[in-house]
Amino acid sequence: MQTRAPNDPTVREFTATVTGIDGQVVTLDHTYFYAESGGQPPDIGTLSDISVTDVQSADGVVKHTLASTPAFDIGDDITGIIDDEFRNYCMRAHTASHIIYGAGRQILDNLGYGGFGINSEKIRVDFTTTTPIDDETLIKLEQLTNRTVWESRDVTWETVPTAEAAAREDVAFNTKTEEGVMSDADSVRLVDIDGWDVAACGGTHVGNTSAVGPVTVLERSNPGEGMTRIEFAVGPTGIDRRATQHRALRETAIALETNIINLSDRATALRDERDELESRVNDLEAKILDSAIVDFESTQTDTAVWRIGSITEISVGVNDAGEAAKRALKSPSNIDHEGVPHGSVIAIVGTGERPFVVIAADDASEVNAGTVIDELTDTYGGGGGGGPSFAQGGGLAASPSTVRSTLREWDQ
C-alpha cells in the first residue's frame, strides 16, 4: 500500500481501515499521509485524534508512528486528518525546487541535480554545473524563478514507462533521490511544469506555479566537490528576509544620501575616496617615519653607524617599522654620517609593554641583523628571526628604553 498523497495532494481528511498495530506504529488499507522520501519530510496530522509524529515507507508499506498507543483495533475504520498548513508548505516548497532547477537549465552549463531537502525554515537544491554560480547568477536564478511563479504555469503529473522517461532529454532525474521514486519499477512518475521543467519525482506539488508565492534565495554554499547548494525560502521566511533586506537598503541609502537605485554607484565612489585617502595617509605616515629615523640618536662602532630609536609621533606596527628601516638604509642622504667610512644599521624599537625590534643592516656594517635579534630574544625572551640584512623580533620582556640601551652598547 503506497501513499496516495502525490497523486491527490489536496486531500486533507480521509477514512481508512486499520490493517496493523505494533505499539505506536499503525498501518492502514490506504493513506493520504506523505511518507518521508527524496528530501520531502513526512506529513503531520492525526489518526483518530492521536498525533502522527512520523510517516515512513518500508517494503511498500506506509507506517504511521503515533504520539501514543492507540485505543482502536485492527479492522476499525478511523479518520485521518493531514495538517493543512504543513502540507501546503511542502507542496509550495517542492514545486519551487523544480522551478529553480528549470531556471538553472536556462543559464547553467552541464547542469546536474544533486538532491534537495525541505525544513520548516528553508529549502535547499544541490546543483552540479560547470558554470560558476556568482552573485549575478544567483540573482538571475531568483528572477527567473519568480517570473515563472508569476506566469501561473500549470503543474501536472503522470506515470509513464521508465524506459520512455529515460529516453527523453527534457526529463531530469535526481540521482540522489530517485531510489524509492523509481527503484527498478517499470514506470515512473513525472512532474511537469508546463513548458519549464519536467522531472521524475514522487513528491506533492501545487497545481499551478502561482500557488508557490514569492521565492527568496537566501544563501549558497559548496557541500562537496563540484556541487553548489542554493538555499531559498517560500512563505513567511522569504517575506521576512525580503523585508529585512529592503529595510537595510533604504537605511543605507539614507545614510549615504542617495537612493536605492544609485546605491551601488555611491558605494563605489565612497570606496574609491576611501582608497585614495588611505593611500595619502600611508604616504604621510611613511614620511613621518622616515623623518623620525633621521632624528634617531646615532651610535658609532668600529664597523658601523647605528641609528637607534623609537617612533613616538604616530602608532606604528612591526611591519611598517620594518619597511621604514629598509627605506632608510637605502637612502644614505637620510643618515648624517657623510665622510665616515662605516656601514649603516637602523634599529627601531616598539613602544609597547613588550616591545618589538626591527633591524636593517647593510653589508659594509659587518653586522648580522639576525644574530642581534637572536641575542636580544635570548636575553629578554620573546621570539623572532631573520637574516644578515634584516631581522625582527617581538614580545621582549624589557622596556623600550632598556632595549635601546642594549643596542647602543652593541659591539662597543
Give which of 127, 5, 17 is closest to 76, Cα–Cα: 17
Whether 311 and 249 share a structural domain? no
- Asked if residue 277 is part of any domain, the answer here is no
Q: Which residues of 304-320 are buried (b: 16+ CB within 10 A; e: fewer)?
A: bbbbbbbbeeeebebeb
Q: Which residues of 155-167 are buried (b: 16+ CB within 10 A; e: fewer)?
A: bebeeeebeebee
Domain of 106, CATH number, reads 3.30.980.10
Give which of 144, 135, 148, 187 is closest to 165, Cα–Cα: 187
- What pLDDT does 181 receive? 47
How far is residue 285's CA from residue 316's CA, in Å, rounded to a whole number?
9
- What pLDDT does 174 receive? 63
* pLDDT 10s digits, 92-126: 999 999 999 999 999 999 888 888 999 988 999 99
Give which of 9, 19, 14 is closest to 73, Cα–Cα: 19
Whether 113 and 187 share a structural domain? yes
Which residues span the domain enclosing 92? Answer: 88-255
Number of structural domains (the chain) is: 3
Whether 305 and 378 share a structural domain? yes
Whether 231 and 352 share a structural domain? no
Domain of 42, CATH number, reads 2.40.30.130
- What pLDDT does 1 receive? 66
Whether 94 and 243 share a structural domain? yes
- What pLDDT does 285 receive? 86
Q: Let me know: does 27 contact 55? Beta carbons within 8 Å.
A: no
What is this structure's pTM?
0.70
Domain of 315, CATH number, reads 3.10.310.40
Whether 78 and 137 share a structural domain? no
- Asked if residue 158 is part of any domain, the answer here is yes
Whether 296 and 325 share a structural domain? yes
Give which of 128, 123, 105 is closest to 196, Cα–Cα: 105
Q: Cell 554607484, residue?
A: 265
Among residues 29, 55, 82, which one ends one of the domains? 82
Q: Provide the CA 314 distance to its chain's centre, in angstroms.
A: 38
Q: Let me know: does 331 contact 293? Beta carbons within 8 Å.
A: no
Whether 141 and 222 share a structural domain? yes
How far is residue 294's CA from residue 298's CA, in Å, rounded to a whole number?
9
The grid coordinates listed for 145 are: 524563478
Percentage helix, strand, coil, to 5, in the chain?
A: 35, 30, 35
Which residues of the chain carry a pLDDT beneath 70?
Answer: 1, 174-184, 332-342, 411-412
Q: Provide the CA 71 distance to its chain's centre, in angstroms.
A: 49
212 secondary structure, DSSP code:
G
Among residues 205, 231, 255, which one ends one of the domains? 255
Number of residues that make up the chain: 412
